[in-house]
Structure 1
């Protein structure tokens, strides 16, 4: 038996060699006999995996937990945990992963469709299961052969706000607007005033910078330079940063907020930390403005579309948006094409006028 004590640890450690490889781990027990039995079990398991082709089993729940743990510290981590809750609600996650069938995945897809969930969301959920399945296989666990359901994404035209739609949205976000069941602006509680002002200011920054919601909602004052009117924007999703220059109204918003007292963050939650994802008031304003098919991310599309429509190339807009792959920016290419064909028309018109002269 090779159970030993290491350093100041009270627990026994299991250490042995098998097939030229050293194995060592804590038994997490002070009972030597229990540690020795753990060693026997561990060796039996390794022997079965090597010579009998048997692999350790893992449940879907544990596989998803391991995958989410591997993503800790990334922008997607919180969203993954939320998806796990949904999967847990609709699937039997305590069964071994090697018993999971393609039919169960199809049933999950249909259950989400019956709940009215859009295809993109269902695709994200299935992608988490796929990633957990692949991760478990990589770690040497037993996995079944799976065929994941195909999600047909509907082709939709790019949605962005017109100038009129933007004004309607900003009117519905005006912090001093009359609100049903609210007192007049002057009589409102300071917390309510702050919350309404935050939503308005946040939308202005999103419209004029084209940044992702989280990039602006959680930005720190240390990244704001009011002297040269620049924003040193860090993009966690793609792990890059860029210097953006403020429009006049972004400068006005940030100057006002700075004069009101600047802590660590430009936008804060009720505890003084970063705002996080609090978009309910913005989504409500979108509905009140009658803007169908518009989401918070549409503000980013609006910024990019306006740049393209006013002469910037797709490659220039890629730099502004911080896309790592030009294919992502190419969704705006048809707007650039419209500009090019418009210029071509003007060139031909001028040539025709010269020919007639």
Structure 2
């Protein structure tokens, strides 16, 4: 018989042989009629998948949960959790989370974008939500699930204001003020960010085994692009790391939290200094823009800067193109004036 009960369970189980393999599943019911229906539906599903080549089906809620689980333990876990909560709350306005993922289409997302605009949120916030959804869909595709046929994820143009950077005066002022903080980590962290143009999480997850004090090199793992980079250290950054290594009681993380684990956000003590100095529109990621802008202004090509920043392609560095044009123009006039 294809359904039966086990001694240690009140539920019926079904046993199905397909393509030389035996599959056993609990029907999760004590009623024989329901168990037979479950077995029949499962047999049909397995036949379509294994014989006809149909892909398995997953609900939108299950896909989002599985995607989030696949990213568990990442350094951006806290931010991802926030995005997942937002995605669940907003998508449910236009499509049931308990419905199958493959039923989602572009019309649902067009309505969702319209609703979010009416909510008054920024285009950047909407795009971040859609980027999270794209991650869910890409995960489900790689996992072999049936895909939506008419899903077009809207591409939003975000008109960012001019990238916020520090002036030379503001940079000096910031570093001098950070020296006064009780925790030397604040000054050290910002200097490393200024001298490497690395992302905050790349420095905060930096291990001592990735620091070569003899060759003055950092070996970074770029979590955003899943690539490795080697960066040369400036003299001041090298001196800071030497001091930290000599005084460190643990030789794992270079910038551990108070509990000894990974830091995940900018320390409040640093954020308070931004506010105290009146650095409007400035955040820790602006330090990366500051260094990149400084390099381009002094003649480094966008291609070279994109490599330093760990961008996946040069188009990511186009925000500095106006600075490159000005630097080239200055180089040209200097050459012409001397010839």
TM-score relative to the length of structure 1: 0.74
Is the Cα–Cα contact under 8 Å of residues 238 and 324 in structure 1 kept in the other structure? yes
Q: Paired residue for 1:253?
A: 240
CA deviation vs aligned residue, 1:242-283 (integer Å, no higher than 9, x gap): 332221221232222222224111111222122233444333
Q: Say which is worse superposed, 163-172 or 144-153, in terms of deviation.
A: 144-153
Please point out which of 122, 129, 132 is paired with 1:128: 132
Cα deviation for residue 305 of structure 1 reads: 1.5
User: Which is greater in Rg?
Assistant: 1
Question: Hey, what does 1:14 align to over in structure 2?
Answer: 15
Shift of 1:224: 1.8
1:294 aligns with 2:295: no
Counterpart Cα distance in 2 of 1:347 and 1:45: 73
Q: Give secondary structure in 2 for the equivalent of 1:231.
A: strand
For this pair of structures, how many residues does the alignment match? 324
| Stretches of structure 2 lacking an aligned partner (at least 5 in a row) | 5-11
CA contact (8 A) 1:217 1:267 kept: yes
Q: 1:310 aligns with which of 285, 288, 298?
A: 298
Q: Quote the residue 1:222 is aligned against.
A: 209
Q: Which runs of no fewer than 5 residues in structure 1 stay unpaired?
A: 5-10, 177-192, 352-357
Question: How big is the shift at 1:335?
Answer: 1.7
CA shift in 2, pair 1:103/1:204, >3 Å: same
Report SS of the residue matched to 2:83: helix
Partner of residue 40, structure 2: 40
- Aligned equivalent of 2:156: 151
Q: 1:25 to 1:67 in 2, by over 3 A?
A: farther
Task: Please give the secondary structure, in 1, of the residue aligned with 2:338.
Answer: helix
* RMSD, matched Cα: 3.8
CA 212–136 in structure 1, closer or farther in 2 if over 3 Å, else same: closer
Q: Within 5 Å, which residues of 2 pair with 1:101-250?
A: 105-106=109-110, 108-110=112-114, 112-113=116-117, 117-133=121-137, 136=140, 139-141=144-146, 143=148, 145-146=150-151, 148-176=153-181, 193-194=182-183, 197-250=184-237
Question: Bigger shift: 208-217 or 73-82?
Answer: 73-82
* Deviation of the 1:319 alpha carbon: 2.8
Distance 1:112 1:171, change over 3 A: farther
Q: TM-score, normalised by structure 2?
A: 0.78
- Farther-moved stretch of structure 1 (209-218 vs 87-96): 87-96
Check whether the contact 1:230–1:245 (CA below 8 A) recurs between aligned residues: yes
Query: How far did 1:133 drift?
Result: 4.5
Q: 1:305 to 1:75 in 2, by over 3 A?
A: same
